[in-house]
Structure 1
Amino acid sequence: MITTEDDARAWLRALPECDDAAMARLEMLAALLAQENQRQNLVSEASLGQVWLRHIADSAQLLPFVPRGTGPWMDLGTGAGFPGLVIAALRPECEVLMIESRARRIDWLDRARIAMGLDRARVVGQRLEMVESCQAAVISARAFAPLTRLLTLSARFSTSDTIWLLPKGQSAQQELHDLREWRHVFHVEQSLTDPQAGIIVGTLAGRKGKAK
């Protein structure tokens, strides 16, 4: 379990993706976030004191579930940039689509992306319902919507091979237990940054009663 800022930095350093350039991008992200948080409430003020644990490592823990070279990666409701900007910072070669509908968040994500030199990352500034259908190899969503609604909104971007990564906090097991309408191969992984949190991981086959 990662419990401190030092633990988080050490864990990140041990990732295959985290060379000196990647760490510099993450350092820049932490600094930009602190500055921007004075202008708009991107994250809680209290969490800024644990930004490496609460936001950066918490986002990066999704990477081991996805083989290198897998893309595009679609992050739903990216908001302050988690996990989208962290994924892009650690895998800059990967196409990362950050879906966000709030104008000030869109502006922040674009400025941060450009400052960090993330040429393969792109901000899609629309409500999810309005985003043009495409096939994503990975779909992530952190605190975006309850599981059933999330799948209803976003299943059109998924194939049977798409990897879903859905940090769900304490509700992960219950939300998965309550999932009735979908054929899936989902399970809950323990979060590395929160002993009470889980991550729903797996693939989606489609709605029950409908053809694939």
Structure 2
Amino acid sequence: MRDIIAAGLADLGLLDRVPEQAPSQLAEYGHLLLEKNQVMNLTAITDPVKVAQLHMLDCAALLTCADFQNRALLDVGTGAGFPGLPLKILVPSLQVTLLDSLNKRVDWLAQVSAQLSLTGIRVIHARAEEQALEKGFRDSFDLVTARAVAELRLLCELCLPYVKVGGAFLAMKSVDCGRELEEAAHCIKLLGARLEECRDYTIPGTDVIHRLVVLRKVAPTLKGYPRRWAKIQKAPL
């Protein structure tokens, strides 16, 4: 896994920009993931090569799209830690908060962070629509990421309230999300953001193309958002 990750980072032009130990740390993370996956559902991808490519290198590609140095990042619905944990390994100055609603995953992520000797990282067990109402979270992060396979309108309402004015929400989507983006136009504007760019990238070693949707926060999100999850699902903005 280490060699595949190192080669992929080189293909992305990142190998000289990340810590020397990063490929080894990402590989160790991958092995821990597959080991834990035998007793807890963390990923449908169980081939080590695919884990290296479709998890680690997919996340690493974000470094070609945005500046993460000395930023504060919140990863909403982090699941098995993607993309927040790989980004932390690749950019040690990044202050990372991993947020997930499943306590078992949060506990495991805390263990992995300790095993990888990572500092400047915290894990929080909470629902995204509720944590956004807590002091120190709303309009507070330079960058917010989401890799969840949810509709963009739902993701925007969950994630944009966390982004500080001038910061950005980075949504990891498929290349066929054009209609989804059009339908989210009203939601994006209402929540205080604008579409800055859509950046397509190919995951090294594969023919898989993904899209990063960058939404820039230009005004504070109105009070009242995010709404309760049942309302968000029933009546998307």
Fold in common (TM above 0.5) = yes
Counterparts of 1:91 and 1:80, CA distance in 2? 18
> For 1:198, what is the secondary structure of its paired residue?
strand
Contact 1:173–1:188 (8 Å) recurs in 2: no
Change (3 A) 1:46 1:119: closer
Change (3 A) 1:151 1:64: same
The count of aligned residue pairs is 207
> For 1:161, what is the secondary structure of its paired residue?
strand
Q: CA deviation at 1:44?
A: 1.0
Out of 154, 164, 167, the residue aligned to residue 169 of structure 2 is 164
- Check if 1:192 corresponds to 2:202: yes
Equivalent residues in 2 for 1:1-212, closer than 5 Å: 8-13=5-10, 14-15=13-14, 16-131=16-131, 132=134, 133-134=137-138, 135-143=140-148, 145-181=150-186, 182-183=188-189, 184-193=194-203, 195-205=208-218
Task: Kindly report the root-mean-square deviation, in angstroms, between the aligned alpha carbons of the 2 structures.
Answer: 2.6
Structure 2 counterpart of 1:63, which letter?
L
Counterparts of 1:35 and 1:106, CA distance in 2? 16
What TM-score does the superposition give when structure 1 sets the normalisation length? 0.86
Counterparts of 1:136 and 1:160, CA distance in 2? 9
Structure 1 counterpart of 2:62, which letter?
L
Change (3 A) 1:203 1:74: same
Counterparts of 1:12 and 1:94, CA distance in 2? 18
Contact 1:139–1:164 (8 Å) recurs in 2: yes
Change (3 A) 1:159 1:19: closer
Per-residue CA deviations over 1:126-169 (Å, capped at 9, x if unaligned) read 11122123411011100253211111122221233112211112
What percentage of aligned pairs have identical amino acids?
Answer: 27
Gaps of 5+ in 1: none
Change (3 A) 1:5 1:28: closer
Counterparts of 2:221 and 2:59, CA distance in 1? 31
Q: CA deviation at 1:27?
A: 1.8
> For 2:98, what is the secondary structure of its paired residue?
strand
Change (3 A) 1:36 1:147: same
